[in-house]
Amino acid sequence: MCKPTVIARKGNIAVTQCVNCKMVNIWNKGVLISFTFSQFSSFVEVTNDLDFDNYLENSPDGVEIVVLATPYPDISLVFTREEWYNFFSALAEATYMQEIYRMVHS
Ligand SMILES: [Zn+2]
């Protein structure tokens, strides 16, 4: 049975995990991204050092954004600066919480 636990929350972002399915979900307004535990840690690793300013683009509305590819072809995430900050803070916090859970439950 699914027992999702919230392991991080920042702005509009919430990260939950289910230890039974070994899945991590990132909830961001209308978008829900699901990862296995190992996909999640690879994603965090790959995106860890990305600097918002190095990838700046302008959205159709003229807002400064960064477009980030996901492990799923044809689906990209779009971030404003604040959303970017919240997203990666939430991922860092989630990774930290996973470590804690691992120590407590293994
Ligand atoms: Zn589950």
CA of 26 to the centre of ligand 1 (A): 14
The answer to whether the CB of 15 falls within 8 A of the CB of 94 is yes
Domain boundaries, the chain: 4-40+49-105
CA of 15 to the centre of ligand 1 (A): 14
Given this model, what pLDDT does residue 102 score? 85
Could you tell me the CA-to-CA distances from 38 to 22, 23, 67, 95, 104 in Å, in that order? 9, 9, 23, 11, 19
Residues 85-103 have a mean pLDDT of: 94
Convert the pLDDT of each residue in 48-90 to its tens digit.
889 999 999 999 999 999 999 877 789 899 999 999 999 999 9
Q: What are 65's two structure tokens?
A: 């954004």
Given this model, what pLDDT does residue 29 score? 84
The answer to whether the CB of 80 falls within 8 A of the CB of 4 is no
Q: Is the pLDDT of residue 106 over 80?
A: no
The answer to whether the CB of 76 falls within 8 A of the CB of 66 is no
Question: Average pLDDT, whole number, for the chain?
Answer: 92
Q: Is the pLDDT of residue 16 over 90?
A: yes
CA of 21 to the centre of ligand 1 (A): 4
CA of 33 to the centre of ligand 1 (A): 14
